[in-house]
Chain A
Amino acid sequence: MPSNKELSAALDIEGSVPIHSVQLDAMVVLKIVKHCRESIPATVTGQLMGLDVNGVLEVTHSFPMPKNNQDSEDDASNYQVQMMRCLREVNVDDNSVGWYQSTNMGNFMNQSLIEHQFEFQQALSKSVLIIHDVARSSMGNINLRALRLTPAFMKLYKEKKFTTEALTKAKLTFSNIFEELPITIRNTALLTALLYELETADESIEVSTSHLTTYKSTASAPANKSVLAPSFDVLDLSLDPYVAKNLENLMDTIDDHHQEQGNYAYWQRSVERENKKKAAYLLNRKTENARRTASGQAPLANEDVDAMFKIPAEPSRLDHLLISGQIDNYCKQINEFAGPTLGKLFAVGELQK
C-alpha cells in the first residue's frame, strides 16, 4: 500500500515534480511487442495508461489503436473514448499518460510524429512517447525508448518560427529535440510466480489426456522444452541484412538532407540578389537625387524601398533539424549494432582455433 506521502504525491495534480523515469508494467511490454510484431511492416500506434507518482511515470495498461487513420478524426477518438470507458469498468487506470509507436529501423523522426507528440504534451504535461523498434528487437534484445519533447523545443514549436536566429537563441540543435528517459520494468508478485512457473518444465501446463484421445501421439514429451529455456538469437552472426538496410536508410536521409541544404542555399542566394538589387536601387536613387539637386529639381520622394524588394522569408529549419536528428539516429544505431557484432566475430575466431 502506498504510504501517505506517496498518496499525496500521487494526488498532486499540478505535477510539480518533473518526470525523470518511466516504469512499465510487464504486461504493457508484452502487449506493445505483440501488437507491433503482428503489424509489420506497417507502423502502428496505441495508447498508454497509468499514473505518475513522484516523478516516475508508471504505465500500467495499453491498448492498440486501429490503424486506418484515413478515417475521420471522430472514429479514432470514438474508439478511444469507448475503450477507456470499458476499461474503467474493470478497474483499469483510465488516465492517459502517453502513446507508443512502432518503427522499423529507427525512422521515426518526421513531422507527423512531432506534431502528435506536441499536441499530446500540450494537453498532458506528464506524457511520454514510447518507440519500439521491431527490426532490432528480432535480434534478441527488446528495443524500447521513452522520449519526450524538450521544453525549449515545445516553446519554439508553439510559435512555429524556426529561423536560424531563433534556433541559436534557444540553443536548439537536433540532439535537443527529444529527451530520453530511462525505463524500468516491474513485475507484480503473482507475475513473478507465473514466471517461475513458466521456467520449470512444461508438464504442469500440459495435461495428458491419453485415455480420451488415444489417437494422439503422446510421444511429444521429449520435445518439450521449458518456455524460458535460454535462446541464443542474440549470438546470430548475420551482418548483411541489418547493416545493409540501415545504410540504405542513411543514404536516403542524406539525400533529403542534401535537398534541404539546396533549398537553404537557394534562399540565401535569392536574399543576396534582393539585397543587391535594393542597394543598387538606393544608389541609383541617391545619384538621381544628387543630380536633381545639382540641377535644381526637387528630389524624388523616398519610396518605400522595403515594399519594392520583398525579401523572401527564411524557410523553416524544422525539417533540417529532423533530418539531422534522423541521420544521427541511424549512425548511432550502426554503432550500437557494431559493438556486439565485433565481440561475436572475435568469439567465433577463437572457437575456430
Chain B
Amino acid sequence: MMDNSSTLHLALPAVHTAASATAPPSLAQPRAFSTSVNPLVFFSILDHYLRRNAGQDRVIGTLLGVRSEDGSEVEIKGCYPVPHLETEDQVEVDMEYHRTMFELHKQVNPKEVIVGWYATGAALNSYSALIHDFYQKEVSSFPAVHLTMDTALTNERLGVKTYISAPVGITSKADNCMFIPIPCDVKYFKAERAGLELLANAKSTESGSTSLLSDMDNLEQSVIEVQKMLERVSEYVDSVLAGTVPANNTVGRYLMDTVSVVPKVDAAEFEKMFNSHLQDLLMVIYLANMTRTQLAVAKRLEKLM
C-alpha cells in the first residue's frame, strides 16, 4: 500500500482520555485502538450474505456494541443488516430502516450503541468511504469501525479485517480517506464457547448437522481429548528419552509445572475426602430417586381412581 518512498502524513483519530485532557494537546497520545468481536456477529453476517437479493454482490449492515471508557477498546456484540443498493454511479443506504432497527434493538439492549458497520467482500472502494462517512456521523465523537468479511474466499480464507478511517489528501472530501487496519480479537462468554464447540462438531459431518449432546457424551468427548493430549505428551517424552528428538528446556519446564499441579495430598486424607464427596453425591441421588418413585406411584394410583 505504501511502497513509494515519500511519506504520508496521517491524522490518526485522536482519542481523548481523561488524563490527556489536562495535558497540552500536542502531547495527547492516541491510544492503541483495538476491537473484539463476538462470534455471533460473524454468523449473522454470513446468514445475511446468504439471504441477499439476487444480483447483489455485497451486503452491509450496522454493528452494535459497547466501548470502553476511553474509547480505545470497542467490543462488537451484535449487528443487524441494512438494505442498500449499489449501482455503477451511486450507492443508496436505507437510513430509515437503520434508525428503526436501532430503536428496536435498543429496547432489548439499552446499553448497546452503534459502533460501526460491516460489509462482505474484501474490496474497499469509494462507496465504502461514503458509507463510512455516514456511519461516522452516527457514531459522533469516536471513530467508527468498519469490518469486512471476505465471503468470496479469496486465498481460500474467510478473512476478517477491521478498519478505522483517517482523512488523507489535501481536500477534506468525504471519500478521501484511508482505511487503517486495526487489530481484532474474538471474545465470547463461556457458555457460548460450549455452543461453538458443539457447532464445530458439526463441521466434520457431511450434511453439516449435529444433534445435541447429553452431558455424559460431552464428558466422554472431553475425556477422550485429554487422553489424546496425554498420549501425545508421553510419546514426546519417550522419544526425548530415547534420544530421537532433541530435548527442549521450555517444554520440559511446562511439563513439570503441569504435573506438579496435581495437589500432593496425603493418601489417607484423600481417601477421606473422596469418600465423603462420594457419599454426599450418592445420598442426593438416592433422595432424588426416591422422590421420583413416590411421584410415579402417586401417578399410578391416580390413574386407578
Interface: A256 (CB within 8 A) = no
CB pair A204 B291 closer than 8 Å: no
Residues in chain A near residue B265, CB distance under 8 A = 352
Whether A344 lies near B219 (C-beta < 8 A) is yes
Q: How far is the CB of A126 from chain B (nearest CB, A)?
A: 20
B167 within 8 A of A: no
Contact A216 B32 (CB under 8 A): yes
Q: What's the least CB distance linking B295 to chain A, in Å?
A: 6
Interface check A231, CB cutoff 8 A: yes
B51 touches A190 (CB 8 A): no
CA separation between A181 and B205, bound complex, in Å?
A: 22
A32–B212 alpha-carbon span in the complex (Å): 15
A290 at the binding interface (Cβ < 8 Å): no
Smallest distance from the beta carbon of A79 to chain B beta carbons, Å?
6
Pair B186/A142 contact, Cβ less than 8 Å: no
Q: Is the CB–CB distance between B195 and A33 below 8 Å?
A: yes
* B: number of interface residues (CB 8 Å): 100
Which residues in B have their C-beta under 8 angstroms from that of A184?
Answer: 209-212
Residue-by-residue, is A194-230 near B (CB-CB < 8 Å gives 1, otherwise 0)? 1111110010111111001101100000000001101
Asked if residues A202 and B186 are in contact (CB atoms below 8 Å), the reply is: yes
Question: Are A198 and B194 in contact (CB-based, < 8 A)?
Answer: no
Q: Which of B145-164 contact A (CB under 8 A)?
A: 151, 153, 157-162
Q: Complex Cα distance A64/B190, Å?
A: 20
Query: Smallest distance from the beta carbon of B15 to chain A beta carbons, Å?
Result: 12
Known contacts A185-B212, A187-B208, A327-B295, A90 near B83 by CB under 8 Å = yes
B49's nearest neighbour on chain A, judged by CB, is A190
| Any A CB within 8 A of the CB of B39 | yes
Interface flag for A303 (CB, 8 Å): no
Specify which chain A residues have a CB less than 8 angstroms from the CB of B40 in the assembled complex. Answer: 27, 30-31, 34
Contact B107–A199 (Cβ < 8 Å): no
Please give, as numbers and ranges, the residues of chain B lying within 8 Å of A42 by CB-CB distance: none
How far, in Å, is A200 (CB) from chain B's closest CB? 9
Nearest neighbor of A25 in chain B, beta-carbon distance: B47
Which residues of chain B have C-beta atoms less than 8 A from A199's C-beta? 200
Is A183 in contact with chain B by the CB < 8 A criterion?
Answer: yes
Query: B206: shortest Cβ distance to chain A, in Å?
Result: 11
Q: A193-B158, A202-B186, A328-B295 are in contact. Are A335 and B196 (CB under 8 A)?
A: no
Residues on the B chain within 8 Å of A195, using CB: 196, 199-200, 202-203
- Cα separation A26 to B138 with both chains bound (whole Å): 31
Contact of A90 among B34, B51, B151, B197 (CB under 8 A): B51
30 A-B contacts (beta carbon < 8 Å): A26-B202, A29-B199, A30-B195, A30-B199, A33-B191, A34-B38, A64-B108, A66-B108, A82-B100, A90-B82, A141-B215, A168-B302, A174-B295, A190-B46, A192-B208, A195-B202, A197-B158, A202-B186, A212-B12, A212-B180, A215-B29, A228-B200, A230-B222, A232-B222, A247-B284, A324-B298, A337-B215, A338-B281, A340-B218, A352-B262
